[in-house]
Structure 1
């Protein structure tokens, strides 16, 4: 594939494709949109693929998955995906771009690596998720093998692969045969960023406010959060939990808990509401059962909130245990979370120090400008040439 920027002498040009429309803020909670915007400050980005699949693909995929009760997902079946993505592959490989950024779209990436310098970007590997996330556990064994082969092809044949966590990076090397020098870890940023923070030392002490944000009640540990708050109140502490995004399956009223339902960041009133909840909280509390990463932890750090969660999946790369939050081993009971929260919130000096450390981590590493600058450094080093523009932000790792 001919590189257009070599002829023009300008900035490097990237093609961009993800599992949906990257310009739609609803695609993957806005993560591809923030990636695209950040990369556009460092590169020329074109083409941007807004419809990666043929129109029939999603309909057939949903139907087959429903009929097979999740055992068959044609997303992992090259016979189907090669056909469904043929236009996307052609559009990219004839575009003359310098490289392709393929975000969490393994089947298309597995084709692109045959034709163009390709950067594979994801928050997890297939191997790390197949026995971790319930949705992946349902896949038929023969399809798991196909899926694993596709994922390995992406990681082994891409120019390099980008992951935001230690957990995913290790899996890329150990489970999918990725070369260690071509598996790169760069933290991801927040999709909701505080314009200013409430100074931690000035936050009220009369009542502790905890914030829980998650769309999957069971998966994000909603019941554990409720039991933790109940335990803290039984011990005589004034504590309130604000819950955004989900609620228990059975409608219930719990003392000290407010359920705010789903808040859409695209609706100005909802956006202001969720920002005010972050701004008014003392701690971000999400005892998630499984999380490949948890962008919401970066969002909490932006508001200078220490985070309390389980040490699971990619969470330890977003929350530094003992510095920007507290992580407990998987399976820790609500009483242990109550202990951790009471210890943290009762020690004002420790709390303020941890809150400011979280905010510093957000400003220095957990932001999209730092991510894009680091990506630029990797691409320039590996393609052997530089863009003409100076970097827009310091590379952070």
Structure 2
């Protein structure tokens, strides 16, 4: 039997771009190749040119946003689907068995009706679940919400297989898009780093030194940077020596940038080899991952933290339960918890000498399900069943 050929379509500039969707486009594409598929790549926005109607549409959206003081997301709009349709109409799909589309519902809506190949859609949430949940999906215009919802329903219904990154994602997809749960497979993401660079073993925590707490994020408030700082401040008040190490932020908020126990490593770009290896070195030195993100679908940062054996302390929100199990590789706290409650839980694990066991659980979690080798084996089984 001949190998199946996959046409992988996204908006990354090319298949080696490690920035798009936090690197998930790059690693999922190469995981499919490692599964034995022949994979070609297409950028759904490559070489697009705006005509008069396109420019008028953009001006309309910008006018609405400015006058109504609303947010606008072009990525989830009929405008973007129209632009993609111009590119995707020119492609010859006849050599392919599978069309694989990560996250972007506009791409599936923009596929020509002549496409009869099986469509696989990789998602971490239907867009309806993100409204007023993620800050960037909040305060949208009514029209933007409607267009995004319509595009999502079209994509989910047209797809032959939906690969959801969490049970929460699967349940939300059934709820909002009215689709059969049987066509959704749950497969957790992997850590978006080369597997050779990830230890996948438990930490040896040196209690004679300050405990190194790690936090990472670009969106300070949504990712709970303020809560992480307050938790560490509380631990220090209790005479527990702490260093808080931060990545992802080019500039810290003014109120915390001069705190002597905070070390900011800046924003580290995985496309840059030197910065990528600096991130690896930082993670190797950490002891705990404190990640009180208030809204999270399926965090790649959690996959990476598990790979480096870091016990994870997080909010119980979105799809986090697929990545953190209470008492095994960390703890989830309710969204009502603040910095003090996180400090209480961390202090409790230190007093009970739990960190080593939780670190072992984190490494086991990574090896069992939070890496791209496991992902491609599970996804291959799902595709084979189409």
TM over 0.5: yes
Q: 1:323 aligns with which of 318, 325, 328?
A: 328
The separation in 2 between residues aligned to 1:71 and 1:257, in whole angstroms, is 33
Task: Please list, as runs of the form range in 1=range in 2, the aligned pairs for 1:293-332 lying within 5 A after superposition.
Answer: 293-332=298-337
1:338-349 alignment, distance < 5 Å: 338-348=343-353
Query: Take 1:64 and 1:301, find their aligned partners in 2: how far apart are those partners?
Result: 45
- Alignment counterpart, residue 23 of structure 2, candidates 7, 22, 30: 30
TM-score (norm 1): 0.86
**CA distance in 1 between partners of 2:90 and 2:81 (Å):** 14
Task: Select 2:296's aligned residue among 270, 291, 296.
Answer: 291
1:113-132 CA-partner distances (Å, limit 9, x unpaired): 84231011111111111121
Q: In the TM superposition, what is the alpha-carbon distance from 1:238 to its structure 2 partner? A: 0.8
The structure-2 alpha-carbon separation of the partners of 1:374 and 1:197, relative to structure 1 and needing over 3 Å to count, comes to: closer
What's the counterpart of residue 112 of structure 1?
A: 111
Aligned residue pair count:
371
Instruction: Confirm or deny: 8 A CA contact 2:202 2:363 kept in the other structure.
Output: no
Q: Relative to 1, partners in 2 of residues 1:256 and 1:76: Cα closer, same or farther, differing over 3 Å? A: closer
Aligned twin of 2:203 = 200
- Residue aligned with 2:130, SS: helix
| CA distance in 1 between partners of 2:4 and 2:19 (Å) | 28
CA distance in 2, matches of 1:66, 1:88: 26
Task: Please name the residue that 1:137 is paired with.
Answer: 138
- Within a 5 Å distance, the mapping from 1:63-82 to structure 2 comes to 66-69=62-65, 70-78=70-78, 81-82=81-82
Q: Distance in 1 between matches of 2:179 and 2:210?
A: 49
Segments of structure 2 that go 5 or more residues without pairing to the other structure are: none
**Residues 197 and 133 of structure 1: CA distance in aligned 2, closer, same or farther (over 3 Å):** closer
> Which among 334, 359, 366 is matched to residue 362 of structure 1?
366
Q: Aligned with 1:68: secondary structure?
A: helix
1:273 to 278, 281, 288: 278
- CA gap 1:64/1:356 in 2 versus in 1, 3 angstroms: farther
| Structure 2 counterpart of 1:52, from 45, 69, 81 | 45
Q: Report deviation, 1:189.
A: 0.2
Paired position in structure 2 for 1:4: none
Q: Deviations over 1:174-214 (max 9, x none)?
A: 11112110011111100125443674345444321101111
Go from structure 1 to structure 2 and tell me whether the alpha carbon gap of 1:339 and 1:63 turns closer, same or farther (over 3 Å shift). Answer: farther
Q: SS of the residue aligned with 1:23? A: coil
SS in structure 2 at match of 1:107: helix
Distance 1:43 1:78, change over 3 A: farther
Q: Does 1:241 pair with 2:244? A: yes
Asked whether the equivalents of residues 113 and 157 of structure 1 are also in contact (C-alpha less than 8 Å), the reply is no
Distance 1:119 1:293 in 2: 19
Does the CA-based 8 Å contact 2:234-2:340 persist in structure 1? yes
Conserved 8 A contact 1:110-1:150: yes
1:41 aligns with 2:34: yes
Shift of residue 63, structure 1, vs aligned partner: 6.3
Q: Choose which of 231, 254, 262 in structure 2 pairs with 1:250.
A: 254
Q: CA deviation at 1:78?
A: 3.0
* SS class of match (2:296): coil
Q: Tell whether the 8 Å contact from 1:243 to 1:261 is kept in structure 2 after alignment.
A: yes
Superposed CA deviations along residues 203-230 of structure 1, whole A, max 9, x for unmatched, are 4443211011111112211111111111
CA RMSD, Structure 1 to Structure 2 (Å): 2.3
Q: Is the 8 A contact 1:74 1:81 kept in 2?
A: no
Native 8 Å contact 1:46 1:97 kept in 2: no
Are the structure 2 counterparts of residues 202 and 237 from structure 1 closer, same or farther at C-alpha, using a change threshold of 3 Å?
A: closer
Using structure 2 for the length normalisation, give the TM-score.
Answer: 0.89
